[in-house]
Amino acid sequence: MGEIVNVYQGFGFPEKLQGKKKGKYPFIKVSDISVVTNKGDRFIEEAANYVDEEDLELLKAIPFPAGTVVFAKIGEAIRLNRRVILKQKSLIDNNVGGVKAKSDLSNDSFVFYIMSMIDLKKYAGGVVPSVKKTAIENIDCVIPTLLEQRKIASCLSAMDETINAYTEKVGLLGQFKKGLMQQLFVNI
């Protein structure tokens, strides 16, 4: 993986900076990733916390680029294997890791799908499971040409959109059924 992606580590997020509901950069934590994946989305653009330029200086942090695939890298959250893609420049917490496609070698969407297939708990070590940057860089994977990556990612993305549309439809039909059942029993 280290040949086709840049691997990023998150930053510590002192409590005194937490709680800002608006700002220039979302500060992505594991809980933000969970919110997005629980909705069935793969792109993250909002967070519970935000920071501004002056906060970056205090944190000694640099925002990660849009397109970075982020995931939990420490604790029990690793077992959930949740991945999302940054929709805009953002900061990530030190419990979160990220990988960004090297533009001339790989495609962000393809990297997302590759990362979604990798079970990070296999690469975690320690009493409190954690995945190190070098472990991610050393994961073996077969990478097709950039053109093939784009085609594969496009096909998988279309499938995801179809699945999400049907999932939403099933939810709406469930609500419709519930409404009909309530009407049925109210009229008795």
pLDDT digits (tens, 9 = 90+) for 99-145: 999 988 889 999 999 999 999 989 988 888 899 999 999 999 888 99
Q: What is the pTM of this model?
A: 0.83
The Cα angle at residue 122 between residues 161 and 154, in degrees rounded to 5 = 20
**Banded model confidence at residue 187, pLDDT cuts 50, 70, 90:** low
Burial 68-103, CB ≥16 within 10 A → b, else e: bbbbbbbeebbeebbbbbbbbebbbbebbbbbbbee
Residue 85, classed as helix, strand or coil, is strand
Question: How would CATH label the architecture of 5-142?
Answer: Alpha-Beta Complex (3.90)
Residue spans of the domains in the chain: they are 5-142, 144-188
Find the radius of gyration of the CA atoms of the chain: 19
